[in-house]
Amino acid sequence: MDTEIKAVEQKKDASPTARQNGFVGLAVWRGRELFWTWKPKSEKEAGESVVRNFLLHWFSTKVTLRSLSWSYSFWLGTITAGLFLILTLTGVVLMFLYVPSVERAYQSVKDLEYVVTFGAFIRAVHRNAAHLMVIAVVLHMVRVFLAGAYKNGIGVGQNRPLNWIMGVILLLTTLFLSFTGYLLPWDQLAYWAVTVGTNIAKSVPFIGEQMRYFLLGAHEIEQNALIRFYVLHCFFLPLIVLILASYHMWRVRKDGGLACVDHLVLSQEKEKRDGGIKSKTYSLLGLTAGRTVEVETTLRNEEEHTVNSIPTLTRRIGLVLLVTFVAVAVMSMLVGAPLEAPANPNVTPNPAKAPWYFLWLQELVSITTFTIAGITFDGSFIGGVFIPGVLILLLLLWPYLDKSPASATGLWFGEGRMRQNIVFLVVCFIILLLTLIGTYMRGPYWEFYFPWESWPKPPKVF
């Protein structure tokens, strides 16, 4: 008791400097207690950080060096997430300044462009990030296909085909998210691009007219269409993307990480069969006597092939996000968001084009519209619905149709997948070629012109 009383008295007599140092130490300790999971100082803390931090539950305790390499995944998934974050932040700012009304929408966008401080820059960042997100999602899916990462490997409980299907749905949602935002400026470019896009949807048999009416809320693009596109673009579609992307990322962990891990394990198994030196077996979640219950992906000499996810992985993610933000900002300084004359249903631009990511469909519609023996075949259905519908269906079913060996999973252009990779690349090249033709080689009345040819001047109206 005397010792405790003496300690209290000494505490009362402590100098202000000592008390201040004590408060500083307490603050540092509190900060350390709150944020230590992001910067662990030991192997134990690195492992516990994944368990203690809600946001870090997406990641496993260990990550392979191959998964961290730039050349394997190009970090396209992280780049896409960064672009979505940019779109969310800039979109919130734009919501405070935009008026979803056919009478005031164009003027509010014009004020953003010419009156609001940094308004033009914010709008350019939002638009450029939207276009880049479409490109990043497409490239991400191309990478996954070429690496055979949509197939289950040797792990128990893997379901990579389901994650591939989630990726296809995310691609379609991303396209629709960008498409709904296209109308909001309410200028000629936006109005007629959406007109072309919704007319393609109208050609779907039996339900096309109902689909178009559901999107527009009327038979014409008016106030109902604008408010519906605004609500879809600002709330429902971003929410769907957030939910699906979160599940998609969580599913990657449940499948044992990127598919390159399976290939690494198979390589070690082959070395072992060929007489390699036996050693302890580790799982990506810790030391184990055999293979993990959830995922059968195990590594020998794990310390040679893996590092702690925290902070190695989080630092790499932070670097990718930073580079993405800077790249979009620099691009937006050089390339602004266009704004044409106000939307006018009575003045049709010639040619009227869909958004650039749907131009390949518009080109297909043009190519597949032909007449034989007096019978005209409607390209709106063949090129605008049937062919893309078949492609999407094949994408969804391909993980179950692909019979390539497990050794090809997670390996770029793996043996046994060369033929289907070539066919896939040919289809991608055709889509890219049709997009370029629709963008740069279609002039008035959708006639073909080479880029160096000038378009004929429209006749003057007196």
* Comparison of pLDDT for 408 and 355, the residue scoring more: 355
User: Is residue 379 domain-resident?
Assistant: yes
Using the predicted structure, report yes or no on whether residue 125 has a pLDDT greater than 70. yes
Using the predicted structure, report yes or no on whether residue 108 has a pLDDT greater than 70. yes
Identify whether the C-beta of residue 69 lies closer than 8 Å to the C-beta of residue 59: no
User: Is residue 36 domain-resident?
Assistant: no
Distance separating alpha carbons of residues 355 and 369, to the nearest angstrom:
20
The CATH number that applies at residue 346 is: 1.20.810.10
Tell which residue, 241, 117, 130, has the closest CA to residue 185.
130
* Comparison of pLDDT for 90 and 407, the residue scoring more: 90
Name the region of 257 (left: φ>0; alpha: ψ -120 to 50; beta: rest).
left
User: Is residue 27 domain-resident?
Assistant: no
Averaged confidence pLDDT in the chain:
84
User: Is residue 456 domain-resident?
Assistant: no
* Comparison of pLDDT for 109 and 36, the residue scoring more: 109
| Structural domain count, the chain | 1
pLDDT at residue number 301? 61
Tokens, residue 159: 């379901």
* Comparison of pLDDT for 40 and 397, the residue scoring more: 397
User: Is residue 88 domain-resident?
Assistant: yes
- What is the domain extent for residue 328? 61-446
Residues with Cβ within 8 Å of residue 279, at least 6 apart in sequence: 300, 301
Coil, helix or strand for 237? helix
pLDDT at residue number 458? 64
pLDDT digit string (tens) for 288-342? Answer: 334 443 344 455 566 677 888 888 999 999 999 999 999 999 999 999 999 999 9
User: Is residue 105 domain-resident?
Assistant: yes
Using the predicted structure, report yes or no on whether residue 8 has a pLDDT greater than 50. no
User: Is residue 14 domain-resident?
Assistant: no
Identify whether the C-beta of residue 281 lies closer than 8 Å to the C-beta of residue 298: yes
* Comparison of pLDDT for 270 and 124, the residue scoring more: 124
Identify whether the C-beta of residue 252 lies closer than 8 Å to the C-beta of residue 163: yes
Coil, helix or strand for 376? strand
Instruction: Give residue 69's identity as a one-letter amino acid code.
Output: S
pLDDT at residue number 242? 96
Using the predicted structure, report yes or no on whether residue 259 has a pLDDT greater than 70. yes
Q: Lowest mean pLDDT: which of 54-58, 243-247, 311-315, 456-460?
A: 456-460
Name the pTM for this structure: 0.86
pLDDT digit string (tens) for 191-236? Answer: 999 999 888 888 887 788 888 898 898 888 999 999 999 999 999 9
User: Is residue 260 domain-resident?
Assistant: yes
pLDDT digit string (tens) for 152-195? Answer: 877 777 899 999 999 999 999 999 999 999 999 999 999 999 99
pLDDT at residue number 294? 39
Q: For residue 62, what is the enclosing H or E element? A: strand 62-64
pLDDT at residue number 247? 93
